[in-house]
Each structure stands twice: as C-alpha cells, then as structure tokens.
Structure 1
Amino acid sequence: MKLKKSFIFIFFFGIIPFSTKSQTKKIDDFNIEKIELFKGSNNDSLLFYSRRLQKSSDKCLSIRGEINEVYSIYLTSNYHLSEKKAKDILEELNDQKPICFRILKIQILNRLFWIKKNQNDYAEAFNYLLEAEEVLKTLKELKEYYFTNRINIKMQIALIKMILGYNLEARTILKKSLSDYKLFFKNNEKEQVHYSKILNHTSFNNLIGETYLNSRENNNTTMLDSASFYFNKAYQFAKEFTPPHKNSETLYQLKEAEVLIKKEKFYEAISLTNKYSKNAKEYNTTQKINYLKAVSFYKLNRKDSAFLFSNNYLKGFIKSNYYQTYVHSIYDILTNLYFEDNKIDSAFKYSKLTLKELNYINKRKNKVNQPHYLYDFKKATELNQAILKSENKNQNSFVLTILILGILLIILMLFFINKAKKSSLRIIEMNKQLDKKESTPKKEYNIDKKLEDEILQSLKELETSKDFLKTDFSINMLAKKLNTNKTYISYIVNKAKNQSFTQYLTEVRINYLINQLKEDKNFRNYTIKALAQEIGYTNASAFTRVFKIYKGVTPSEYIKSLENDTN
C-alpha cells in the first residue's frame, strides 16, 4: 500500500512540471506567432505581444521579446529611447556564447545600425555593421541564416555608399546581391524563407530605386523612370505579405511623389501627397508629407503654402527632434522665402541654420569615409589572399605533377640519349636560320614632306580637340579623316614621338584626365568607372592599370594626393 502511495505521489508531482513546461511553450509559441503577424501591420499589438514574450522563462525568448519592443519603438521614430534600450540589450548579450544569443546579438546590432543611420551618425552605424559581420562569421554552419544575413550586410554597405554619393557602386552591389539571393533560394519554398524573400526583394528594389533617384543625373528622365520602375517592383512584392502591411501603398506613393518632384511635376506631386495624407499619423509619414508639400509649393511660387508646410515640418522636428533627414532642405526653403520677402534678419537666421546642418551632415559623412575606405581595402586584401591561397594550392599540385613528369622524362632521356643529342643539334641549326631571317632591317618609308607636316599638324589639333575621348576613336578613324593610310600615321608618330600610336593615344588621354582632375574638383567625386568612360575606356580595370603605368599610382591614390595638396 505504501509503495502504491509513493508511486501516485511521484507520478502526480512528476507530471505537473512536464505539464507546466508544455503549457509555457504553447504560450511562448503563441506570442511569437502574434509578433510575426503584427510586424508592419499593427504596432500597438506588436508592442503588447513583445512585452508578453519578455515574461518567458526561456532567457533567449525573453530577450527576443525585448528586441521586438525596441523595433516597435523604432517604428514610431523615437530613436533616442529605442537606442537606449538596444544598448542595454547589447550589453546583456556581449558575454553570451550560445548560438541563440549570437543570433539575437546580430539582430540588435542591425537595429542599432538603422537607428544611427536615421540619426545621420553614419560612422557609428557603420561600426555596428562591422560588429554584426564579425559575429556572423561565427555562424557559418547555419548556411541559410548566414547567407541571408551576409546579403543583408551587403545591402547596408550599399546604403552607406549611397549616403557617401557612390550611387553607381551601390547599385552594382545591390543588383549583384539580389541576383545571388534569388539563386540561393531558388527552390526553397519554406514559409519562413518565403517571408524573408518578400522582405528582401522589397528592400533591395526600393534601395535600387533610391540609387537612381539620388543619382547625379537625376534630372535625366531615363534615370527617374528607372527609379519609378524599381519602386513599383518593390511595392508589387510588398503586396504579397500575409497579413498585408497596411502602409505599403502609402510608402510607395510617397516615393512616387519624390520622383514627380524631380521631374518638376509639382501639381501631380501635391495631388498624390494629399491623397495619401489621411493615415499620416498612423503610418508615421506626417513629416515626409510636410517636406514634399513644402518643396512642391515653393517650386510653384505659392509662398503661403510653402511657409505653412515648412513650419509644420519644423514644429514636428523641434517637438520630437526626430526625422532629421530633410531639415536642411526646409531651412533652405525658408531662407529663400524670407529673402524674397526682403526679411533679411529671418533669411540670415535660416541661412546660418542651413549651413550648420550641411556642415553637420558633411562632418558625419567625412567621419565614415575612413572606416568605409578601410573596409573596402580589407575586403580587397582578403580577396587577394584567397586568390593567392588558391594559386599556391594549384601551384603545389602543379609542382608535384612536374616532379613526376620530370622523373619519367629523365628515364626516357637516358633511354633515348643519342637521339636527343641529334634532335638538339637540328633545333640549334634551325634557330640560327630563323635569327638570320629576323635580322631584316626595319622598313623606311619615303613620305612626302607636305603629307608628313599635315599629319603632324593633325596630331596637334587632335590634342586640343576631344575626338580622342571617343570610345571608338582609333588610328583607322584618323587615317580616314586625313585621307591617308594608318601605316604612314603610325610611322610618323613613331618617328616624331618615339612611341607607337597606341602609346601616344593613351598618353594624350591620361594627360587630359590629369588636367581635368587638377582644374575641376567635381571630377574627383567620379567613380573609377566614370573616369574611365570620360576618356574613352569601357573597362575600369584596364584604365586603372594604364593609369598606374603612366603615373606610378592608381587613380584613387592620385585623387587622394590632390585632395591632400588642396588641404
């Protein structure tokens, strides 16, 4: 009887912990499901279930709840509070080694990147990005997770490049990363992967659209049409979210309004912003709408409306100190409005604020330039080492193969020694005969002095024209223009310049570019590819090699030396 009671006691009290544990897991799973459901669709519900998940007995899930609370606060543009909470979480995760905590650390570092980026603190944002990349390197065994996050980091690096003005470079990274992403997940239809696909396709296409919108050639209709194309593509992907993100259409249409402003279609831009202003508070788009309307009305010379929406923007900015993105543009609009009304004191006030804000932005950009450059240099070095390692491996295999073949060859040589001697003698004799043939004197041309002078004069004119900058410019083109043949031109260039026509053309192009870099500082902001295209090269790598041969340094190093001399 005693044994029976003991058994009942053990069974009853043993099953309770199991039942409680099972119930707790159900609650945790329910809260996680709700968090994923309300991301992007209902921020209040997202915050509610994030706080519920924080009560989990599983430490990893509890911190996951905290991270989602940070995200919820971030969505309200309260960057100060979200940063404070994020840093507290990061401090808690710093000494944690399990995989779960390392994944969470990447999430919180990612959130800090976006917070600092939106605060225009690009150097700090970039540092968080690099820290996340280092943590990610420890998770290579999680193939899908590692690949997805590596792609996300590339996306963020492209964003930093966009901020620094390298839109073409950023676009190249984004398109290549998107292509790699599609290929990697081509046949993977898992539910969580499907959500990730939609999210990444939306983000990538929006950012590619931004590179076209912010391009130096943004007044070019083709560039702006490309921006619209990618914004629309992002919106089409965003429609696939389940449940739908309620703000997707509004965010897309406001991007379209930006394109319309760049196309100088201001009435259409105002009409579009009016249509999507109803839910501005809920979707946190009030400040962007104020900015878009302020710009449009100012461009239409409707001063009262421009004043109204500029001041609305500043009220929102002063009240919360959030959404700093366009504040310098608003200051600039107010400067011009007051100046046009001959209110010099107010114009001067806002002019000073404009300059202060622009200096602040430039300071932030300059601050991130060095780590950005060092990052690119490090990546190039890593790639170079990987190539060398591969080359050394191949070289070792090659050496081993040569050794084996060498041994076999020695055996064969010992066997056929007499025949080898005779063969060598015949080869030596043949080489002597070839040497005699190749020693034929260089051909001289008896060219009319007048023609020679005409060709030399044309070369001088060529150097002052810009014909040599054309991609298809060649000796054949010049010969056709002078109604002569390329052999004569080649001979005269060689005689007068002591170099081949190709060498001469290259020297003229490089000298032109060096002169432009010295006299026009805008050229120093061009990408290497753009500089190459300026002087007729289609391949940036070939251009860099040629430039280094003539100047002893790469184009980037030369531009840097010019900047240092200026400073």
Structure 2
Amino acid sequence: MSDNDTITAYFKQIETLLDDAKYSKDIFLDQDMLLIKKQNTTGIEKVNVLLDLYEATRFKSIKTARGYNEEALELAQAIGFQKGELTAKYNHAYLLFVSGLFDRSMSEVEKIEEVVEYDRFPECYADLKTLKSYIYTERGEYDLALEIGFELLDFAERTQKGYLFLKAYFALSHYYLRTENYSISLKYCFEGLHYIIKLKKTQYLFSKIDEIARLTAKLNNPKGALDIYAFCLRMEPKIPSTGNYIKSAVFMNMAEIYMQIGEYGSAQQYLDKALMIINKDGYKFRVPRILILQAELFLLKNDTVASIGFYEKSLEAAEEINAFDVVKSNSLILAQLYKKQNNLTKTYEYNNLYAAIRDSYFNNEKEQKIIILETRRKVNEVTQMNRILELENKVQQDRFNFVIVVLILVSFICLIVALSYFKARKKNKMLYRHTLELATMQTELKQKIQDYRKTFGVSNDYSGDVSVKKCQTIDEETKNLILHRLNKLEAENFFLDPHCNLNDVSVRLKTNSKYLSQVINLEKKTNFNNYINDLRINYLLSRLLVDGDFRNSKLNYIAASAGFNSINTFKAAFKKRQGILPSYFIGELNSELQKRGKA
C-alpha cells in the first residue's frame, strides 16, 4: 500500500471517529463541560478533571494550562493521590520544554524518574521517556534520543499497552524527522496515528496530521501535503480549537511547502503569522527553526545578505536554548555563505565552530557548551590578531613577523591533525585485526560443527511444545528446549529476514515472546534486537572473509543480504559491535588479501 493509500484510509477512520465524537464530549475534552465537572467533584475525581483541563488548554494557553496543573498538583499532594501528583509534575516539565527551557525540563524529568515505578505507573513512565527523548533530540544528542525511543518500544511490546506504543512512536517519529530520515519518520507517524484513533486521544490528532503533511512535503510531494491540510480545514469545524501552539507549527510547515513550490509571497505570509504567535506566546524552541525558514526564503530570492542575517539570529537563538544540532548545521551554512562572499575571517570563524561541534564526542550538554564557548574565544583571539596584522600590513610593518605567525599556526594545526590521524588509524587497525580474528574463528568453528554433524549424524530435531507453561519464571527444561530450537534456527539463518521480530520468532519456536525474551536475556546476555544484530554481523564477517564477489558488492547490498532494513542501521550496528565502520573493514581486508596474493 502506498503512502497516499495509507493516508486516505486513515482519513476515513478519522472522519468516523469525529462523527462518533459528536455524541461524546469526553472524547474531545470539552472545556465547558470540564469546568462544570470541576465545580461538582472532589478528591481524586477533581484532580483528574483538572488534569483534563490542562490537556484541553496546553496547546491554547501555557499560562491557563499551568494554572490548572498547579491546582491539580496541590490537591493531589493534599489527598495523597500519587498518580495525579506524578502526572502534574510531568506536565510541569513538559511546559518548560515547550517554553524552550530544556535544562530545567530535563532536571524535572530526572527528579520524577527517581520516584516513579514503571510497573505501577506505566503511562507516566512513558510520558517521561518520550519527553526525555524530545529534549535529547532538540539538543542534538541523537544517540540518546534513539536509545530511549527503542527502549520505550521494547517496554510497549512487553506490556502490550496501547498508550506506551503511542508514546514510543511519537518519540521515534520525532527523532527520525529531526535526523531527516523522512520515510522512516512517516512510517512511525502512521503507527502513532493508528493508536491516536484506537485510544481516541483526539488532543493529539491535529498535531499528528500536521506532522504527516510536513513529512509528505519533505518526501517531494507538496501537492499531497496541501491535500492533507485541505482535509484538516474540512474537519476543523468538528474539532475544538487547536490553539496557538499547533497553529504556529502548521503555519511554519505551510510556509515551507509554499517555498517548495515557488509561491514565495504566500510563504512569507505564513511565516509572519507563525512568528507573531511564537513571539506572543514564548515558544522559544521554535524560534531557531522559523528563523532558518526565513533565511532559506531570502536565499531563494537571491538575497544572500538578508539570509546570512537570519541564519546568525537562528544560531544565537539555538545557543540560548542549547539546541546544538542547529548550531552545527547553521555554522556550516554560514561558513559556506561567507566563503562565497570572500569574507575569509567569518568563514574561518564559522568553520571552526562547526568543526568543534562535529568532532565532539561528548554527550553531556554542558561539556558541549564549554566547547562552543572556548571555540568562540579562540576564534575571537585569532580574528583580533588578523585585524591587527592587516593594519600593520597597510603601513608595511612587521610583514615578516606576520608570515612567521601564520606558518607557526598552520604547522601547529597540521601537527594536531597528523597526531589525531595516526592515533585514529592505529586504533582502527587494532579493531580491524580483532574483527578479522573473530571472523576467522567463527568460520573455522562453523566448519568444525558441520563436519562433526556429518561424521556422527547428529540430529537437530527436538519435539515438544513450550507454549502452554503458565509459571511466571521459566523452568530449566523449558529454557533448554527453547535454547535448543533457537540454536537450530540460528543454523538456518532465520535472522536474514529483514522483518524478523520477537513475535514471529516465538511462533516459529512454538513458544511465547516472554519466554523467548527471557532465554535470550539469560543465555545470550543481551536483548532481542542486539541478539539479531550480532547474528547478522557474525554472518557477514564469515561471508566477507571467504566470498570475494560478495565482499566487493555495494554496501547497501551487503546490508540487505544480512537482513538490515537500511544502510544506516547496518553501519551503526557494525560500528557499535566492532568499533569500526564496515567499509573500513572491507577495505583493509581487500588490501591484506591482495598483498597475500602478490606474495
């Protein structure tokens, strides 16, 4: 089914949901109805009504939503309603995030995580993890964001709770959107929309449709995106007001679409509307993106000077909220634009800023901020030195000293680059040697096992069904039976199926996913996803060692042959496991084998 067919199918489901909602104001968290309830309830019920009022107003007015939430928190603490207290504290952290206060939001999340019990309060746990993933993504700490998204998805699969799936898909679609992997992001958006409809969480409906429209445009289908917004306009009379928070995002996305199709006047109108809302309501974390859009619009109009101004404003706004991914991307763009203008001082400044962020291995935001500040300080010192030298050159003074300074600076930089290169090369060589030894051992061991089975006629058959056990902890007999079957399945290379998942493998082993997960955790010392990736990499190492044609194939073919859905996933898994990229390993292996052939 194509994306357009999927969207059409979901539109029909949404229309059905909205028609049903006419008879139930609870689905829409109708504010007037909730205010009446607030006057007529007490205790836990009143806390829940106040939390619903927060949900109904958080996209409309941060101030109003905060008031309801604080009232809910105070009452929940007074009556000892722990779930209500935790939810209200999470809501407070979310409002800090929306206001662009990432550090304070993360601090609040970590405080709540210390006391929340995920088995007692799974929904609150899911909310916290999702918000944490959002913050990591906005700060450019993508590895941490993705790790949390998959952790939450694993938890959802273990518990089979719809709300956990909803939040996991929200976190993953947000991550892939920000890393510009739009097709995967759209896939997770559809999964999230499925649970929005299933759980009747209509407060998320408009924002998710807006996200799908944005991704559709990013995938070179601006007409399809405008069709989606047209659907929203048709449905708007049936949906309560979405509020300025969502409207500002919609206006920004609409502007981007009109830029894509060359209607710059319409694009500017939507940007102006969005900027007015963002400045009025204080949505700080949206400021860098809207300034980038304005800069891109000026570039399309061939006004480079104005574009540079807005890119620099966007960079300043990103630094203010510690959005380091925006700092990195903007600094590279600014370096390129200044280079075209032959402004070497500014080019040098922004190239250094970009290199500092790009080459940083720190995950801690404060350490990244220190790097930026130190880089700016050094750049300012060098810039000031260059200005002094330029003045001296004008009056023919100390020209020789200037040349010496430049030579020393270049030599120092070259020395640092050379040392870094040789250090990295030595490390990669060690990792390559370790990987080669592992591949050789695996190939020899596999051959010995096959020879042994042929010689002694060892059978892999093992009958029995392990799906009917009812105990909470797996017993030894069941574990051994599952492990035996799993090892047999490994010999059949089941992991090469790109759609291989925990449930499918459980069915093939005639057991359930909980037992299988326990066996993998106990016997393989890892989780299911890492287990599958390890098998795939082991398979690849052995095959790369002996199959020259396969070794010289394109990397995306090699990845697909091992069951990886994308080359990026393959590279990340290989690097995580072996410490080097697969392309480096293959290149070194080819070089070594070629030398042996000549010898």
TM normalised by structure 2 equals 0.47
TM normalised by structure 1 equals 0.49
